[in-house]
Amino acid sequence: MCGIVGITSNKQVTSSIINSLRKLEYRGYDSAGIATLNDGFINEVKCEGRVDTLEKNLSKIKIEGTIGIGHVRWATHGSPSTVNAHPHSSEKVSVVHNGIIENSTILKKYLIKKGHKFKSQTDTEVIVHLITEYLKKNDLKKTILKVLKKLHGSFALGIIFKEQPDLIVGARRGSPLAVGYGPNENYLGSDSYALKSMTNKISYLNDGDFCIVKKDQVEFFDNKGNKVNKKILKLSSNEQDYDKGDYKHFMAKEIEEQPTTIKNCVNEYINKMSGDINIFNFPWKSNEISSIVLIGCGTAYHSCLMAKYWFEQLTNLDVGVDIASEFRYRKNRFKKDALYIFVSQSGETADTFAALDLCNKNNMKTCSVVNVVESSIARESKFVLPIHCGPEVGVASTKAFLGQMLVLYILCLKFAQMRKEIKKNVYMEKIKSLFLLSKLAKKSLETDSKIQSVCSSFTDIKGSMFLGRGYSFPIALEGALKLKELSYVHAEGYPAGEMKHGPLALIEDGLPVVVLAPRDEYYKKTISNMQEVIARGAKVLLITNKSKDEVHSENIWEKIEVENTSEDLLPFLLTIPLQKLAYYSAFKKGYDIDKPRNLAKSVTVE
């Protein structure tokens, strides 16, 4: 994770670096720092904590310079502290780094023998000393090539040099890096968002590339040092999407936006008149695909799991689901007739990217479902399905989860139709339900007051469980993940039918258990499982859909009802109260909802 920025200009750069760092805080927020070059000296200011603290420090220790680099950190090697904060500098160079240097211990030993003194516990500091060492005998370009060859692991780097006061070097392997072009100044940043307030003209480095950024010129090189040309992309401006308006938190705004994002996505993919699904230029014929492998991490993994249920229900395709960090290191038997689908909000998740890269290297059919269409995963996959939900800023994924599920559901319908595995009238019914979904999701938002009244039971607890069967099981996993990441309480999502095989032992008097039991084909079974936990003292919050029939169960603590739709679309409506439950629980505890502890929005380290 971590965010990096670099600016070379004919104006002072400190305040622009601070502004960019604020935008990068979603990538890491345990420490921050800045270094500039001025009058032949490298000046550094760093601190533990947020960019606000860094800015306060900068009001006391003024640093100047028309060239500089900045960093927000998500600690990997060494605790979050001022000394471990980036930039790391020697007398000659200063470096900001996003990634992990896997052979740092070996390199450190070698450098200590050469007389280098280390100040921090970070892996990054070896890069500083390695550059300093190689600069003794090599020119800048040769030094960079040699250093990059020595480093194992992943990195995006920004480097300034005491003796080259007119340039910043950027380099990437594994971690993302963009270059921005401005008037009499150029930039380096972990993503386009960091640079958006300064420019909408962006180029992306490919894996292994490095670049030399001057205020009036940018040169790109591949890993052999050959010059490469880069396309300059023009980004659309959607600054207002990054504003939380009247909401207290981005997460609150993003939850409330869901009916709109559902509507936009449905309109984007489906022709309302004909019911046709607009997935054009799909590079493969449907008979070339007989299985599907869905891969993602965290919430994105949960949407993959959800899609498995849909694909198995509506098509005869074989469906596999994988967590990217497992997939990438397993001995996979790649199948020529499989479509590998990578799901990622950010499109930068290191494990998902590595899994995609592995599939590409094995010549597989790869497709991605992403929110950020300029991302590495989107750029490297052979076909891209955007989720059209606008920037998601809160670390806890909400609208992107619904967006991912929606696109996967639509893709599933498209396959079912192309493979003639769905009857025309059933297909049309499902399309009709999709057009109604946004309105029903709006109703799910109205569960607010009920959630607010129950959430205190989810704050100071030993743990909680989220149970569901069938379509509701991935949603139970997602509900539990949301509660843990925001409220820092143990929450476990479980298939309701699995409880008696162990977890039932956890149930004791007053333990809060969320049971997802919509009136679908699993309903009766789930209600029986619910009885089993109630009988053992659990305090059950039941989430179901509206019905004229009473739930035949006594001693349910609280009940929330969502609207009715087809069984396979109910997961969308059940998700929203769970997002709110996590939100209000964290709010009650006064936690930092948009930036929960130890986490980051874009997970660019493995």
13 vs 321, beta carbon nearer ligand AGP: 321
- 352: Cα separation from own chain's centroid: 10
Q: Does 368 bind ligand AGP (CB under 6 A)?
A: no
User: Quick one: DSSP state of residue 303?
Assistant: H
95 vs 321, beta carbon nearer ligand AGP: 321
Sole window of 64-72, 361-369, 389-397, 569-577 interacting with ligand AGP (rule: CB under 6 A): 389-397
Q: Does 604 bind ligand AGP (CB under 6 A)?
A: no
Sole window of 17-25, 294-302, 329-337, 414-422 interacting with ligand AGP (rule: CB under 6 A): 294-302
Backbone torsions φ then ψ of 295, nearest 5 degrees: -130, 135
Read off the amino acid at residue 473.
Answer: F
Among 213, 396, 406, 408, binds ligand AGP (CB under 6 A): 396
Q: Does 8 bind ligand AGP (CB under 6 A)?
A: no
User: 376: helix, coil or strand?
Assistant: helix
Which tokens hold the place of 169? 């070097």
Q: Does 25 bind ligand AGP (CB under 6 A)?
A: no
Q: Does 190 bind ligand AGP (CB under 6 A)?
A: no
338 vs 396, beta carbon nearer ligand AGP: 396
Which tokens hold the place of 601? 């929005």
26 vs 221, beta carbon nearer ligand AGP: 26
Q: Which residue is nearest to ligand AGP (CB)?
A: 298
Q: How far apart are CA 344 and CA 176, in angstroms?
A: 14
344 vs 447, beta carbon nearer ligand AGP: 344
User: Quick one: DSSP state of residue 425?
Assistant: H
Among 344, 368, 544, 545, binds ligand AGP (CB under 6 A): 344
Sole window of 123-131, 176-184, 341-349, 521-529 interacting with ligand AGP (rule: CB under 6 A): 341-349
Sole window of 144-152, 241-249, 297-305, 443-451 interacting with ligand AGP (rule: CB under 6 A): 297-305
Q: What's the min distance (Å) between Cβ of 133 and ligand AGP?
A: 36
Q: How far apart are CA 46 and CA 27, in angstroms?
A: 17
Q: Does 395 bind ligand AGP (CB under 6 A)?
A: yes
Cis previous bond, 283, omega within 30: no
Backbone torsions φ then ψ of 446, nearest 5 degrees: -75, 5
Q: How far apart are CA 542 and CA 532, in angstroms?
A: 14
196 vs 601, beta carbon nearer ligand AGP: 601
17 vs 265, beta carbon nearer ligand AGP: 265
Q: What's the min distance (Å) between Cβ of 107 and ligand AGP?
A: 29
Q: How far apart are CA 579 and CA 581, in angstroms?
A: 5
Neighbour-count burial for 357-368, b at 16+ CB within 10 Å, e otherwise: bbbeeeebbbbb
Q: What's the min distance (Å) between Cβ of 250 and ligand AGP?
A: 12
Q: Does 349 bind ligand AGP (CB under 6 A)?
A: yes
Q: What's the min distance (Å) between Cβ of 298 and ligand AGP?
A: 2
What lies within 8 Å, CB to CB, of 534 at 6+ separation is: 540, 553, 554, 555, 556
Q: Does 603 bind ligand AGP (CB under 6 A)?
A: yes
Sole window of 74-82, 94-102, 104-112, 296-304 interacting with ligand AGP (rule: CB under 6 A): 296-304
Q: Which of 302, 304, 309, 318 is nearest to 520 (CA)?
A: 309
Q: What's the min distance (Å) between Cβ of 17 and ligand AGP?
A: 25
Q: Give the residue numbers marked as catalytic.
A: 2, 601
Helices 399-418, 424-445: crossing angle, 10 deg rounding: 170
Q: Does 255 bind ligand AGP (CB under 6 A)?
A: no
Among 298, 468, 479, 495, binds ligand AGP (CB under 6 A): 298
What does the per-residue mask of binding to ligand AGP show for 430-469, with x meaning CB under 6 A?
----------------------------------------
Residues that bind ligand AGP (rule: CB under 6 A) add up to a total of 14
Q: Which DSSP string do the residues of 533-595 spell out, in sequence order?
A: HHHTT-EEEEEEE--SSPP--S---EEEEE----GGGHHHHHHHHHHHHHHHHHHHHT--SSS
422 vs 605, beta carbon nearer ligand AGP: 605
Q: Does 300 bind ligand AGP (CB under 6 A)?
A: yes
Count Cα atoms within 13 angstroms, Cβ side, for 39: 3
C-alpha dihedral sign at 42, 46, 51, 52: negative
Q: Does 346 bind ligand AGP (CB under 6 A)?
A: yes
Rg (CA), the chain: 25
What does the per-residue mask of binding to ligand AGP show for 475-494, with x meaning CB under 6 A?
----------x---------
254 vs 520, beta carbon nearer ligand AGP: 254
Q: What's the min distance (Å) between Cβ of 254 and ligand AGP?
A: 11
Among 43, 175, 264, 345, binds ligand AGP (CB under 6 A): 345
Q: How far apart are CA 22 and CA 243, in angstroms?
A: 13
Q: How far apart are CA 534 and CA 113, in angstroms?
A: 65
Which residues 34-73 are close enough to bind ligand AGP by CB under 6 A? none
Burial of 558 per CB tally in 10 Å (0-12, 13-18, 19+): middle
396 vs 511, beta carbon nearer ligand AGP: 396
Helices 472-487, 298-314: crossing angle, 10 deg rounding: 170
Q: How far apart are CA 478 and CA 290, in angstroms?
A: 28
Among 126, 177, 292, 297, binds ligand AGP (CB under 6 A): 297
User: What are residue 89's DSSP bridge partners?
Assistant: 94
Q: What's the min distance (Å) between Cβ of 301 and ligand AGP?
A: 8
Residue ranges in contact with ligand AGP by CB under 6 A = 297-300, 344-346, 349, 352, 395-397, 485, 603
